[in-house]
Amino acid sequence: MSRYYSKDHEWLEIDGNVGTIGITDYAQHQLGDITYVELPEVGTEIKQFSIFCTIESVKAASDVYAPVSGEIIEVNSKLENEPEIINKSPEEEGWIAKVKVSDPSELNNLMDKASYENYIKELD
Amino acid sequence: MENLKSTPLEAEHIKLKAKMAPFGGWNMPIQYESIIEEHMQCRKSAALFDTCHMGEFYFKGDLANTNIEMAFSFKIGTINVGKCRYGLILNEKGGIVDDCIVYRLSADELMMVVNAGTKDNDFNVIKSVLKGNFIFEDRSETTSKLDVQGPLSRELLRKYFPGIIDELKYFSFTKTSLMNQEVILSRTGYTGELGFEIYMPSTICVDVWNDLLKDERIKPAGLGARDLLRLEMGYPLYGSDLDEDTTPLEADLSYFVHLDKDFVGKEALLKQKETELEKIRVGFVCDSRRAPRHGYKIFADGMDIGYVTSGGFSPSLGKGIGMGYVKPQYSSENTILELSQDRVIIKAVVEKIPFYKDGSLRK
């Protein structure tokens, strides 16, 4: 398994042809208390770097962008009633959706952990 | 880049790692760690707010001969010494210039507390109606204000104000001393909880702040929590829910307008009373955790009937709540609304405010 990161602060964990998507710890920290997640529907086709769900915090509603293209095969329905899981465990328990990856070459458009950490250091 | 003002507590906020943001021309703490935790802290225990950005005016003069009544929608002369009253400053069109609280310090002395962003304009508007002999000063620079709000606030403040704190009734105040300085302690606030506001010389503000925080039952809370607390109570926020193009009749604040006295804007309000209102402020509760935001449109029966002025997630209700202006025929309780912007559609129903009914406000 390997983990990738986008410039929009999503993470993607690849296991075979299935990718698990969430937002990074940096992103949840920027958003603050998360109060609502508009989950995508299973079966939806998503496109890399297009909006695939919306997360609301106390302060504002923010779009989440798909780090990779594919079909949504599962969503984390726990987030419907406990969206704060993303604040507590953004990169594990707070995963958002699983996707059947349609084009593995898109992974080249993402960063590895070290590059992402350098990237957020520059943002601060 | 906006030239932001700082309260005496800015360095303390930064030490506490607060997220700072501009508000009303000031660099203010929005949150320290978590808006929701700070909100719950105020509902369950006690929260400390930096409200030094707000404006304080001092007036001295014969109330009957200085035309002061003309500046306010509510009666000034009938406020008893030691009491304070909430109300509005209006323009000639009846539009709301600001909402404020007037404190009757003595027979011929008043303190007026106004919003930060409107302070300078308020000062000019009030001054423009005054006549005869009076003193009218903006004392905001030298006055600091801290709000202690929450069910434990009285208990926490008892050691500073023994005796006095237990006698103070809702919307009353007293002059007393703190750290050898004269201060005003009032039983007021904007959170829906039992609470007190302390007006003090700016020189002692940092010491008072830090001393209060030594008690672990109280924690600092930022403007984010403050906004949700007032929203749960249905209290309007100037600049979001109230503005110069909105009258008190439209804002459902008629209670704070005394039509049996004269004031700027009264003629316009009397005229408006004879016609049907075009819009009226209502509160609504959403059917999910999703929160409407300022600027969302309001639809009913498929028609565009208004707009959202405040909205957020209510930690106490576990749902989105908000307020806004709708055509009067859609203002009755249980009216079904749709709140919408871009691809977001939220179902909501009109509900009576306050949304939060279990506060310790009058306990």
Residues 6+ apart with CB under 8 A from B141: B202
By the CB < 8 Å criterion, does A61 face chain B? Answer: yes
For the cut 70, the answer to whether the pLDDT of residue B2 exceeds it is no
Scan residues 250-289 of B and list those with Cβ closer than 8 Å to A: 288-289
Same domain, B64 and B176: no
- Please name the residue of chain A whose CA is at the shortest distance from the CA of residue B313: A58
Same domain as B175, residue B36: yes
**pLDDT of amino acid B343:** 84
| pLDDT given at position A22 | 98
pLDDT of residue B3: 87
Flag whether residue A25 sits within 8 Å of chain B, measured between CB atoms: no
Q: What is the pLDDT of residues B202-235, one digit of tens each?
A: 999 999 999 999 999 999 999 999 999 999 999 9
Domain harbouring B295, CATH code: 2.40.30.110
| Nearest chain A Cα distance for residue B36, angstroms | 7
Per-residue pLDDT of chain A (124 residues; tens, 9 = 90+): 799 999 999 999 999 999 999 999 999 999 999 999 999 999 999 999 999 999 999 988 899 999 999 999 999 999 999 999 999 999 999 999 999 999 999 999 999 999 999 999 998 7
Residue B1 has pLDDT above 60, yes or no: no
Q: Compute the average pLDDT of residues B192-207.
A: 98
CA angle, B171 then B175 then B177, to 5°: 130
The continuous run of DSSP H or E covering A14 comes out as: strand A10-15
**Please, what is the average pLDDT of chain B?**
97
- Do residues B34 and B157 both lie within one domain? yes
CATH number at residue B98: 3.30.70.1400
* Residues of A with Cβ-Cβ distance to B293 under 8 angstroms: 60-61
Bridge partners (DSSP) of residue B322 are B284, B311
Question: Into how many domains does chain B fold?
Answer: 3
Apex CA B154: angle with CA B152 and CA B158, to 5°?
120
* pLDDT in the model for residue B256: 97
From chain B, pick out residues whose CB is under 8 angstroms from the CB of A54.
344
Count CA within 13 A, CB hemisphere, residue B83: 10
Give tens-digit pLDDT for B252-275. 999 999 999 999 999 999 999 999
Q: How far apart are CA B336 and CA A62, in angstroms?
A: 26
Residue A60 has a pLDDT of 85
User: Per residue in B129-168, pLDDT tens?
Assistant: 999 999 999 999 999 999 999 999 999 999 999 999 999 9
Chain A from 85 to 124: CB within 8 A of any B CB? none
Whether residues B75 and B120 fall in one domain:
yes
Region B29-47: mean pLDDT is: 97
Question: Under an 8 A CB cutoff, do A58 and B35 touch?
Answer: yes
Q: Are strands A97-101 and B19-23 parallel, antiparallel or unpaired?
A: unpaired
B103 pLDDT higher than 80: yes
Put simply, the answer to whether A32 touches B293 (Cβ < 8 Å) is: no
* CB atoms A60 and B293 under 8 Å: yes
How high is the pLDDT of residue B192? 96
Q: Indicate whether B69 and B132 sit together in one domain.
A: yes
CB B67 within 8 A of CB B129: yes
Residue B333 to residue B331: CA distance in whole angstroms: 7
The answer to whether B257 and B73 are in contact (CB under 8 A) is: yes
- Alpha-carbon gap, residue B5 to B13, rounded angstroms: 14
Range of B185's domain?
9-50+141-233
Q: What percent of chain B has pLDDT over 90?
A: 98
Say if residue B66 is in the same domain as residue B174. no
- Helix axes of B223-232 and B35-44: crossing angle, nearest 10 degrees: 60
Is the domain of B125 the same as that of B154?
no
How many domains, in total, are found in chain A?
1
**Nearest by CB: A35 against B30, B37, B289:** B289
Residue A96 is part of which domain span?
Answer: 2-123
Domain shared by B201 and B283, yes or no: no
Is B226 found in the same domain as B85? no
Task: Look at residues B5, B19, B27 and name the one whose alpha carbon lies nearest to residue B220.
Answer: B19
Q: Does A40 touch chain B (CB under 8 A)?
A: no
CB distance A36–B288 less than 8 Å? yes
Boundary-marking domain end, from B138, B154, B180: B138
Residue from B34, B289, B340 to probe the interface with A (highest A Cβ count within 10 Å): B289
Residue B195: give its domain's CATH number: 3.30.1360.120
Of B138, B170, B188, at which residue does a domain stop?
B138
Q: Counting every residue, how long is chain B?
A: 363
Chain Cα centroid distance, residue B357: 18
Domain boundary among B101, B118, B138: B138
Residue A113's CATH number: 2.40.50.100
Q: Which residue of B has its CA nearest to A54?
A: B344
The pLDDT tens digits for B64-102 are 999 999 999 999 999 999 999 999 999 999 999 999 999
Is pTM beyond 0.95 here? no
Domain identity same for B46 and B104 = no
Mean pLDDT computed over B13-17 = 97
Does A59 contact B at CB distance below 8 Å?
yes
